[in-house]
Structure 1
Amino acid sequence: MTNLLEAKGLSKAFPARDGKGVVNAVNDVSLTLAEGETLGIVGESGCGKSTLARMLLRLIEPSAGEVFFRGQNLLGLNRAEMRQRRRDIQIVFQDPYASLDPRMKIADIIAEPLDIHAIGSRAERVERVKDLLSLVGLDPSAGARYPHEFSGGQRQRIGIARAIALEPTLLVLDEPVSALDVSIQSQILNLLDDLKSRLNLSYIFISHDLSVVEHVSDRVAVMYLGRIVEQGPADVILTQPRHPYTQALISAVPEIEPERRKARTVLQGDLPSPENIPPGCAFHPRCPIAADICKVQLPAFRSGGRSGVRCHLVEDPSIL
């Protein structure tokens, strides 16, 4: 498959609040996304997933690294060129309440991208908005109402309609169902799956919920404190995890069937602050199998077979 998107060595450091240090939100992240593929990015809150998503769209400028979309370096584009490219890359935000302007009618919210890019006549835009509302499972009459008149699930459908208005190739989905009731989550996931096949979309799906990522992803990248620690096909990562952090995440996923339940790996302590990342492997203070080398040396990302992992002990099990 042809790579639609490629990120090389992306990093982002923000100034610390006290002005004396930096917050290393994302560190040396490289990934690829093929045409028609869904890449799931998973990790605990605060691991840098959303910052990475915004860098891929240049909503945040990276401190280092490159982003290529269909072979074109997005970081080399000027403002006007990037504005045109954004027709191909859109985002669906986590909070369906905060992402919609409460003062605008739904039809105006969905039509705004069409207005900005001067697509079609006014009458054509009105019809396009009606078609988009129908496409995401809402009645076209919803366009005359305001966001506060809709439930969270309906608002997320509106956010999706706005995101696909320009007929993009890639959608970045930043925790699109985490703010919704479980009963509504499956409806939105099914909608996204249907739109992917109907509109030939590619997805980057960001979540802290491995069970959701398993449902939608072709490949999975696991992040911890700003770095990808394991990456590969979803069926490999979720059934044969190699990194201790991935193993702990998977062990926490509830299983309905008793025979499929695994022994729970409980991590000790909380996620460290990105202002004070531990030396060596950042996971070593919480790792149940950490060795001395893990405390002083950052492991390289090693690829083997269909997946890759950043762990000393996977590279050389004899260290144990």
Structure 2
Amino acid sequence: MDIELRAFAGPRGWPATGCVCASCNRLRLAGIRHEPASVVIDGVPLEDCARVRVPGGHDVTGAGGGRALVASGPGAAPEPAAGVEYDAVLLDLAGSPEHLGRLRHVGAATPKTEVMAVHVDHRISSPAELERRMAFWERPQGGPSRTLLLGGTRSGKSAEAELRLAACPDVTYVATGLARDDDPEWNARIAAHRGRRPAWWRTVETTDLPGALAAATGAVLVDGIGTWLTAAIDEAGAWDDPSRVRPRLEEVVAAWRGTRARVVAVSDEVGLSLVPATPSGRAFRDLLGHLNQRLAAESEEAALVVAGRVMDLP
């Protein structure tokens, strides 16, 4: 199936006329404009191809017999036909990258399926950011691969982790922060994270992180290392004697090094805040800081997330 994507922007183009948002203005200042999506399939404009309307878009058949699933516009998530493995999918990846994950989950998109982003607009910050994300979504789904994402409170590190794995067909979410009967605010945070995740992701709530990493296959998101360390210190009774928990840290590092999965883990960057006022606080900071260093050393990728922006660490 020969697909020519002549333009890929949303109906208003990018930048949108009259819009003064940072995304549109960034392109405008650079003298760049992307026109509304225009697609040619096997030499025929998309609107002239044989196609069937489906919820959220069209099921298109090219002149050579290939099949493509095409989103109708921004926010649209086209439904695949039952039992069809598409040669190409043209999706609103700026708005709904998890839809690609769902198509892969149900078998409509396979490793052979060509993936293209259409209806791109100012919901994403720049073409470079789209390219960065596409690199995650198009890479092979298996492992081994390890990514450590560091950041402070409300930095956007968890959202970045979810974004990186959004297009995977199956994801195991290892939640190390367990619900607490006496802490409704903490439970509300857990519920908010659950509500963001695609319905087909599997959630495992455990403090046995080494065991979860050893058993993991496919794609795994660990959120997060800091909450796991808190539980490990509690279980070891190590707040007054940090040496008691160090064997657990060695187990985690060994499991991280030996995993066969594609793992993205979230951890707290503790080196930029004030020195904790208590001995236990300082012990936690030191333990997590050293653990972050060791996990980063065993990772193919590491990044720091600040105010929702990502800085790759060499």
TM over 0.5: no
Shorter chain as denominator, the TM-score bin is: 0.3 to 0.5
Higher relative contact order (CA 8 A, sep 6+): 1
Choose 1 or 2 for highest CA Rg. Answer: 2
TM-score, normalisation: structure 2: 0.33
